[in-house]
Structure 1
Amino acid sequence: MLSLPLALLVALPALCASEPVHIPLIRRHGGRAKTTADHLRNAEFVRMRYGYSSGSPASSLTNTSSTSKRLDRRASAQSLNIVNQNGDSSYFGSVSIGTPPQAFHVILDTGSSDLWVVDTNCVTCDPTSPAFNSQNSSSFQVLDSTATTISYGSGQVQGFVAQDDVTMGNFTMSAQGFLTAEVTSRGLLQGSVSGLMGLAFAAIASTKTRPFWQNLISSNQLEAPEMSFWLSRFLGTTKEEQPGGSFILGGTNTSLYSGTLEFQSLISNIPGPASFWLLGLSGKPFRIVLTAATPLIMTMTGITVQGQAIKVATGANALSAIDTGTTLIGGPTTDVAAVWAAVPGAVKSVQNLGYYEYPCSTSVSISMAFGGQLWPIDPADMNLGPGSKKGMCVGSIFDLTAGSAISPGPGTPTWVVGDTFLKNVYTVFRSSPAAVGFAQLSAAAGGGSGTPGAGPAGTGSSSSGSTSNTGMHTVQSRSLSLSLMVFGVVVYLL
């Protein structure tokens, strides 16, 4: 991954904070069922994203000669709808860039930190994706004429780091840093999507610019230093785009969740500044429950599989990234094998490296606890569809480190918790005090199929406290540390 030093962003006067802004999300569907090749790419993309590439070929930059030559040269909080793309595989919202503003759909990704959109000079981009025309913006400025590359699990983009006015909802940042992409890996974007907005921290930004959301906080435009997500579920549909849920800048929407928000502080003993939204696995073991009864969520106290608890790696080498830009859940080899060993008939997939297959007739329900309650995952989200053998289905928890000889370094996640889990909870990302919070979805948001249960005995309560909210905006105050604690997973077979 290449990065360039940039000029400092133009300082802005502090603004007065106002109400949260609601940004609609949209989901886009590819119009076909996922294939074995799709599953392989999904896993490899996530491995590359977090530094565990197995060396399998992934989408790389396609750089034509013509492209190569070009590259050598306080206001408010708002809730915005988002779009659900490719059968719950990605979610995007709308931004405007430039003067006058040019509108684009961008994937909202808490697993990266750069903002980028395709440029009109891009010859490798999907021709149906709207492109940014810098010549039509009077406020556009190139910060560095040297090409910068941003690498993702699903490919790469390359272009110039620039700055311009960027607007999302009612929020505008002047001189916001971003990348105008002139080369992209083929297939990186589809349809109306033109780029990506990273919602992690500035430390991992390839452009060396501060993310849009952090600039909003520093310029006092958000009522609260937080953003929240409700992600919709549209499995099995053939429609390319569906309503994707809601992204709220500067607060929460209490109509989308019930009960209390359970916050956990981010771990503070990781070297360097904050990077990803990280969770650290605690010393409590994963425990699996097999039952033919109703899907009650049970505590993990004294519950085992055939008398044996399933232990997982812990400590600084077992961090988990909470990532809206990842579709599935990836984990370390031993722990993922232990989870699927509790499912009768589950076997390693022959065709999909790192995946497991299980009898399609089995309904697998997994619940994850983050320091307090158990949060159930809908069995539909655990099923990726037909496997390599008749009657077998591919599971949504895969081996993140399969085929890789790379050991995790300090601060490197070994678990990646994506939309398979996040569709089942209301999620709040808070920068100060740094924490992530979860709550049960309300009936209006599609909740009610599963009820959170008590967490494992002895784990204690949320380190940031649980609160009941009465308005659009909620402020929590506790720890300044940088990572959550995942205390366990419970699996039910129905």
Structure 2
Amino acid sequence: MLRLLLLLLSTWTGSAMVRVALMRVPSIRSQLRTQGLLEDFLKDHRPDMFNRRYAQCFPPGTPSLRLRRSSEKIYNFMDAQYYGEISVGTPPQNFSVIFDTGSADLWVPSSYCVSQACAFHRRFKAFESKTFHHDGRSFGIHYGSGHLLGVMGRDTVKIGDMTILNQQFGESVYEPGSAFVTAKFDGVLGLAYQSLAEILGNPVFDNMLAQKIVDQPVFSFYLSRRTRTSNPQGELLLGGIDEAMYNGSINWLPVSAKRYWQVEMDSVVVQGGSSFCPIGCHAIIDTGTSLIGGPTRDVLRLQQLIGATPTNNGEFVIDCTRLSSLPRITFILGGKEYTLTSEQYVRKEPFGISDLCFSGFQAFDIISPEGPMWILGDVFLTEYYSIFDRGLDRIGLAQARHTIE
């Protein structure tokens, strides 16, 4: 029966499946660094300082503004790189969004937004949509580098040829700080479980299932490597799996907690014997960040093992001439090894007439009932085709099929 189900999922070509092309752009962090603004931005957006500066702009008691809050959304828009197009309203109004498995909300900028960031992005005009329904409630979302405030509504959402009716979403009216000014995307479409949502109501994929828009409760991601000449640069397939995007077999991992797309990880091994979480830990498969994150103590030790040195901005740089001598890093999931070479976990970015090399690992402490968590972002997912199965609550990983670059 399991083999039959896998065959049906992998070969299904029905009409209720849509491909969303994903564009890859330099992250906000890279753009700020190129402009010489990164250090000042990071100083201004430390959580406690940010809270004190902007708390008066939000309704009293907004949960995400509590000082010393120990948990926050892992969605890291500072490092997001892949986005695609959707539309909201009737007639449709187009927006570019991050398709993010690390959050569960859909939001786009509102025409009533008063922030500088909104002036540089497309804004939703509720009064022009015949199918819009005002909700009246407000919401606040706390991201790693700032807060977002908005109001809720319901409207028709289109992704490719698929139409979702009465979709709950947020209109952002206040996006303080400069991060969203630099962002190439307009908003975020979360694909995590409903329990992670700040906006009341079903997330987009839940409504697609409830409205029977997709025949199979599955979506999958292919993310290209570093070059912009890749075709496609990335792709989200809603409703199925594309065998042309991967090599070999799929390794299926059960979801360990229905919030993030979270799985159990056996260990992380550095070539030569050093290992992390040797008795097991948990990992989040997250398309919303380009990096691989882990507990501070582990990641700092890992940076030492790969010869990465810290900068004033909290990043870690590596001598580009030493890449061939750096160790391989292996993530063991479900008994299978997923190995990254230095060429895959080091990020090369142009700087003047040369390149700077940055570690693809970042310290990120997430408090959870399951203990320390790792985040496997795009540094990992560019090498492995990822499949998210809501029907059986599992994640599939297979070697991504990249053209020679």
Per the alignment, do residues 58 and 29 of structure 1 end up closer, same or farther by CA in structure 2, a change over 3 Å counting?
farther
Residue aligning to 2:149: 158
Q: Does 1:397 align with 2:357?
A: no
- Alpha-carbon separation, structure 1, partners of 2:259 and 2:312: 34
Deviation at 1:322, TM superposition (A): 0.9
Residue aligning to 1:359: 319
The aligned runs of 1:90-129 (5 Å cut-off) are: 90-124=81-115, 125-129=117-121
Q: Is the 8 A contact 1:278 1:413 kept in 2?
A: no
Deviation at 1:366, TM superposition (A): 2.7
Q: Is the 8 A contact 2:269 2:329 kept in 1?
A: no
- Alpha-carbon separation, structure 1, partners of 2:337 and 2:298: 18
- Alpha-carbon separation, structure 2, partners of 1:205 and 1:18: 29
Per the alignment, do residues 133 and 64 of structure 1 end up closer, same or farther by CA in structure 2, a change over 3 Å counting?
farther
Residue aligning to 2:73: none
Give the alignment partner of residue 266 of structure 1, picking from 222, 234, 255: 255
- Alpha-carbon separation, structure 1, partners of 2:276 and 2:226: 34
Q: Does 1:425 align with 2:384?
A: yes
Deviation at 1:99, TM superposition (A): 1.3
SS in 1 for 2:206: helix
Q: Is the 8 A contact 1:155 1:188 kept in 2?
A: no
Q: Does 1:252 align with 2:252?
A: no
Task: Give TM-score scaled by structure 1 length.
Answer: 0.65
Q: Which amino acid in structure 1 is aligned with residue 364 of structure 2?
A: L
SS in 2 for 1:326: coil
Give the alignment partner of residue 334 of structure 1, picking from 293, 297, 301: 297
Deviation at 1:26, TM superposition (A): 1.1
Residue aligning to 1:218: 210
- Alpha-carbon separation, structure 2, partners of 1:40 and 1:381: 29
Q: Does 1:22 align with 2:16?
A: no
- Alpha-carbon separation, structure 2, partners of 1:172 and 1:43: 42
- Alpha-carbon separation, structure 1, partners of 2:151 and 2:55: 15
Deviation at 1:391, TM superposition (A): 10
Q: Is the 8 A contact 1:116 1:179 kept in 2?
A: yes
Q: Does 1:276 align with 2:260?
A: yes
Per the alignment, do residues 96 and 287 of structure 1 end up closer, same or farther by CA in structure 2, a change over 3 Å counting?
closer
Deviation at 1:327, TM superposition (A): 1.4
Give the alignment partner of residue 409 of structure 1, picking from 350, 364, 368: 368
SS in 1 for 2:275: coil
Per the alignment, do residues 350 and 93 of structure 1 end up closer, same or farther by CA in structure 2, a change over 3 Å counting?
closer
Q: Which amino acid in structure 2 is aligned with residue 395 of structure 1?
A: S
Whose helix fraction is larger, Structure 1's or Structure 2's? 2
Per the alignment, do residues 430 and 126 of structure 1 end up closer, same or farther by CA in structure 2, a change over 3 Å counting?
same
- Alpha-carbon separation, structure 2, partners of 1:58 and 1:32: 21
Q: Deviations over 1:372-405 (max 9, x none)?
A: 432333534422458xxx998431112213xxxx
Q: Deviations over 1:292-337 (max 9, x none)?
A: xxxxxxxxxxxx44xxx4242645xx32211101111111133223
Deviation at 1:184, TM superposition (A): 1.1
- Alpha-carbon separation, structure 1, partners of 2:78 and 2:142: 24
Residue aligning to 1:491: none
Residue aligning to 1:466: none
- Alpha-carbon separation, structure 2, partners of 1:336 and 1:328: 12
Per the alignment, do residues 166 and 134 of structure 1 end up closer, same or farther by CA in structure 2, a change over 3 Å counting?
same
- Alpha-carbon separation, structure 1, partners of 2:355 and 2:17: 47
Deviation at 1:41, TM superposition (A): 7.0
**Which structure: larger Rg?**
1
Q: Is the 8 A contact 1:113 1:197 kept in 2?
A: yes
Per the alignment, do residues 164 and 154 of structure 1 end up closer, same or farther by CA in structure 2, a change over 3 Å counting?
same
- Alpha-carbon separation, structure 1, partners of 2:231 and 2:243: 23
- Alpha-carbon separation, structure 1, partners of 2:195 and 2:248: 34
Q: Does 1:446 align with 2:403?
A: yes
SS in 2 for 1:324: coil
Q: Which amino acid in structure 1 is aligned with residue 298 of structure 2?
A: D
The number of equivalent residue pairs is 364
Per the alignment, do residues 412 and 128 of structure 1 end up closer, same or farther by CA in structure 2, a change over 3 Å counting?
farther
Q: Deviations over 1:22-61 (max 9, x none)?
A: 111112236858469748979999xxxxxxxx74655999
- Alpha-carbon separation, structure 1, partners of 2:263 and 2:40: 25
Per the alignment, do residues 32 and 335 of structure 1 end up closer, same or farther by CA in structure 2, a change over 3 Å counting?
closer
- Alpha-carbon separation, structure 2, partners of 1:310 and 1:139: 54
Higher relative contact order (CA 8 A, sep 6+): 1
Q: Does 1:349 align with 2:349?
A: no
Q: Is the 8 A contact 1:313 1:335 kept in 2?
A: no
Residue aligning to 1:194: 186
SS in 2 for 1:193: coil
Cα root mean square deviation, aligned: 3.6
SS in 2 for 1:206: coil
SS in 2 for 1:361: helix
- Alpha-carbon separation, structure 1, partners of 2:44 and 2:373: 14
Q: Does 1:312 align with 2:277?
A: yes
Show structure 1 runs of 5+ residues with no match: 1-16, 46-53, 69-85, 290-303, 402-406, 450-494
Q: Is the 8 A contact 2:79 2:290 kept in 1?
A: yes
Residue aligning to 1:485: none
Q: Is the 8 A contact 1:226 1:249 kept in 2?
A: yes
Show structure 2 runs of 5+ residues with no match: 1-13, 60-76
Q: Is the 8 A contact 1:27 1:243 kept in 2?
A: no
Per the alignment, do residues 155 and 191 of structure 1 end up closer, same or farther by CA in structure 2, a change over 3 Å counting?
closer
Q: Is the 8 A contact 1:158 1:183 kept in 2?
A: yes
Deviation at 1:413, TM superposition (A): 5.8
Q: Is the 8 A contact 2:157 2:164 kept in 1?
A: yes
Residue aligning to 2:285: 322
- Alpha-carbon separation, structure 2, partners of 1:202 and 1:136: 29
Q: Is the 8 A contact 1:281 1:313 kept in 2?
A: no
Per the alignment, do residues 356 and 314 of structure 1 end up closer, same or farther by CA in structure 2, a change over 3 Å counting?
farther
Q: Percent identity?
A: 26
Per the alignment, do residues 57 and 261 of structure 1 end up closer, same or farther by CA in structure 2, a change over 3 Å counting?
farther
Residue aligning to 1:371: 334
Residue aligning to 2:131: 139
- Alpha-carbon separation, structure 2, partners of 1:213 and 1:64: 34
Q: Does 1:436 align with 2:395?
A: yes
Give the alignment partner of residue 171 of structure 2, picking from 175, 180, 183: 180
Deviation at 1:192, TM superposition (A): 5.5
Q: Is the 8 A contact 2:265 2:332 kept in 1?
A: no
Residue aligning to 1:230: 222
